[in-house]
Amino acid sequence: MLVLLLLDAMLTYAVALSYSNHVHDRDLAGDAQSIAALLQHDALPGEISAQARFLLDYDPAGRNYFDIRSRQHGLVSGNGHLHGPTVHAHIGQAPILFDTRLGHTPLRAATVAIPDPRHAQDVLDITVAETLHDRHMIAREILLLSVSLQLLLMLLLLGLVWFGVDVGLRGLEPLTRRLARRERTLAPIDDSDVPRELLPLTRTIDTLFGRLRGLMALQERFIADAAHQLRTPLTGLSLHVERAQAHAHDPALRDALHHIERLNARAARTARQLLALTRAQTPHEDEQDRAIIDLGTLVPETVGDRVHEAIAAGVDLGYEGTTEATPILGNAGALRELLDNLLDNALRYAGRDGQVTVSLRAADADGGPRIIVEDDGPGVADEFLSRLGERFFRTPTSHGDGTGLGLAIVQRIAERHAASVVYARAPSGGLLVDIRFPAMSITA
C-alpha cells in the first residue's frame, strides 16, 4: 500500500500540475488581452497608461514580466528582455502561449498582437510572462492535501482490514481448540462450527484422514497377524529345543541348541513387542478399559514381580516411592506394559552388578505424578537422546539383543495417557527415563 501511495502521489502531482498550468495559462492569456485593450483605448502617444502599468507591475515578488515591442521600432516598454514566440501573433487572434527563459529562469508567456495606436502601419506585440513558481506551489498544495486525505483513508482501511481479519480468524478458535485436543484420533472433523469458507479445506482433511485410517488399519492388522502367526511356531520350536537339550550328550550339539533357544526367545520377544506396540498405537480405546488406578500400588507390585529376574541377572533392583495415594485415570494393563518395557531396558543395559532404581513421585504444584527409572549402565550419548522412542532405533554403541521396540512402546502408552517422556543422563552415568503424567490425568 505504501508503494501504491507513492505511485498515487506521483500521479496526483502530475494531474495537479496540469490543472495548475491550465488555470495559469488561462489567466496569463486574460492578462495579455486586458493590457492590449488598455493600450488600444487609453494609451497616450509614446506612453503606457497608468492602469496598464499597474497591471504589468502588480507582482512585488518579481515573478511577472512584460514586454511591448513595435515590429518597426523595437522595444517600447518592459521590465525584461523577453523572446517572443517563433510565430508572429495576428491581430484579433487569441493569445499565443509558449515557454521561454529569462537568463536561467524558465517562464511561461502569452503574446497578443494589436495595431499601434500611434502608427497606423505598425503592430505592437504585447508579451506577458510569469515564472513557474506559483504553478508548482499550487500543485504541491493540492498534492499535500490529497496525500493527507489518502493516508488517512489508508490508515482507516488498514484498521478495518485488521479488525476484519481478527474477527474472521476468531471464528477459527473453536476448530483450532478441538484439533489441538486431538492426540492420535483420525476421526472426521465436526464442521458444525467451521466457517463456510473453510468447509472445502476441512472436507479435504477428512478425506486425507480417511485414507490414513485405512493405511494404519492395514499396517496394524498386518503386524498383529504376523506377530500372532509367529507365536505358535516359535512356541513349538522352543518345546522341541528343550526336548532335544534333554537328550543331547554331544557338547557341540548342546551349544548349538542353546544358541537356537536364545534366538527363538529373541524372536518370540519381538513378536510380543510388535503386538504390544500395535495395541499401544491403536487410535481408539474403549472408555470401559480406563479406570482410576493408584500408581502407589501398581508400580511397586510391577517392580516386585521382576525382583527374581533381577537377582538372576545380578542386578540390584530398588524402589523408592511415596506413601501417598497417587491416582490417575488409565489402563492398568497398558501401564504394566510400560513399566515392564522400562525395566527390561534398564535390566539389560545395567548389566551384572549394576543398579536399577524405580522412583514414584506424587503430584505437586509443578505437575502430576512421575515415574522415574534410572540405571548405572553405559547410558546414551546426548545426540541420540532425542531419538529414543523411535521404532527400531538403537544407538550405534548398543551390543545387546534388543529390538528397538521397548521404548517405542513406552512412548506410545505414555501418549495414550497424556503423559510426556523425558530421556536424560542419570547422575550415575546411565539412562534416566522420566514419565510425567499431567496434573489432571482424569481428562486424558
Q: What is the pLDDT of residues 179-192, one digit of tens each?
A: 777 766 777 887 77
* Residue 258, C-beta contacts closer than 8 angstroms, at least 6 positions apart: 245
Q: 91 pLDDT exceeds 80?
A: yes
H/E element, 385: helix 382-385
pLDDT confidence tier of residue 200, bands split at 50, 70 and 90: confident
User: What average pLDDT does the structure give for the chain?
Assistant: 81
Average pLDDT over residues 154-158: 91
Q: Residues 418, 183: contact at Cβ < 8 Å?
A: yes
Given strand 123-131, what is the order of strands in its sheet?
Answer: 74-78, 64-70, 123-131, 105-115, 96-102
DSSP states along 242-288? HHHHHH---HHHHHHHHHHHHHHHHHHHHHHHHHHHHHHT-S---GG
Q: How far apart are the first and last CA of the chain?
A: 49
Instruction: Return the bridge partners of 35, or none.
Output: none
Q: 283 pLDDT exceeds 60?
A: no
Q: Which domains does the chain have, with CATH numbers?
A: 2-141 (3.30.450), 191-280 (1.10.287.130), 287-443 (3.30.565.10)
DSSP states along 60-102? TTS-EEEEEEETTTEEEEESS-----SS---TTSPPEEEEEEE
Task: Give the residue among 65, 60, 62 at the shortest CA–CA distance from 32.
Answer: 65
Other Cβ atoms closer than 10 A to 374: 23
Distance (Å) of CA 252 to CA 52, 239, 241, 243: 137, 20, 14, 16
DSSP state of 367: B
Q: What percent of the chain has pLDDT over 70?
A: 83
Q: Which of 141-150, 210-219, 277-286, 367-376 has the lowest mean pLDDT?
A: 277-286
Say which residue the cell 511561461 belongs to: 108
* Cα-Cα-Cα-Cα dihedral sign, residues 344, 349, 354, 359: negative
Give the pLDDT score at 48.
58
Give the pLDDT score at 49.
59
Query: Residue 375: what residue type?
Result: D
Task: Give the residue among 386, 388, 186, 392 at the shortest CA–CA distance from 274.
Answer: 392
Q: Which of 98-107, 197-206, 227-236, 325-334 has the lowest mean pLDDT?
A: 227-236
Distance (Å) of CA 181 to CA 66, 165, 188, 373: 86, 24, 14, 29
pLDDT confidence tier of residue 393, bands split at 50, 70 and 90: confident
